[in-house]
Amino acid sequence: MSGKVYLVGAGPGDPDLLTIKAHRLLSSCDALVYDSLVPREVLALVPEHAEKHFVGKRRGHHSVPQPSTNAVLVEMAQRHDCVVRLKGGDPFLFGRGGEEAAHLERHGIAVEVVPGVTAGIAAPAYVGIPVTHRRAGSSVTFVTGHEEIDKARPGVDWKALARSSDGLVIYMGLHNLPHICQELMDGGLAQSTPAAAVQQGTVRGQRVVVSDLAGLAEAVREANLASPSIVVIGEVVNQRVESCAPEPAAVEMPIPLKTS
């Protein structure tokens, strides 16, 4: 008889943004499989006796291949009643949670998703930027700027997005930011369109750069912003209310990647 795997969203980093359900599962699980975009303070909730496996992925570092992570989840569920697969943000938003859920189902493993607060909403909020606003349009698009995630799928049509959405929230976009900005302008988005990039949103190390679209890539380069960062493009940036922004949590994220 196999156990159950919970695909748990850890949120963007601030431990106070964990859901009550995520906190309960972390505090009682038998095994944990976790990514790099999780602070130690969240990992500290896990019982000492729980078996723990690190499967972090980040650009420029050796990463655990997704098939290996899938295999670990199946193997852990065969030995433990309650397995938490902890993912930064929300498991079903650029988190490959859907792939893992399908793999577990194919292998007869019970699986349940536990949604989390996504960085695409929380990081802008922690600098006072709403991702939607009645005066700034009626649509927002969440998109990945990391074109190398899956070379088999079509690339993002940035020129089309420039014409089809009032606001863009871009995950993993720093590496390709000059290309993204140029494509958006080539697609008809005005050079003066407000834009911002938020590094390490919700935790210590949070920084924000606000610019126009034409100058965003250079402003990010001059500020030496690093991943993980969220980019927001659209009139919503001009609706920023800095006084409503929470204080970033005094935690470090991401945790160091293992080198062995």
The residues annotated as belonging to the active site are 35, 57, 172
Asked if 129 and 236 count as a contact pair (C-beta separation under 8 A), the reply is yes
* Sole residue written with tokens 């140029």: 182
Asked if 10 and 37 count as a contact pair (C-beta separation under 8 A), the reply is yes
Angle between helices 177-186 and 213-223 (to 10 degrees): 170
Q: Give, in order, the Cα–Cα distances in Å from 152 to each of 64, 149, 155, 200.
A: 19, 9, 9, 29
Q: Give, in order, the Cα–Cα distances in Å from 198 to each of 96, 118, 134, 150, 227.
A: 23, 14, 22, 25, 9
CA nearest to 208, candidates 191, 192, 225: 225
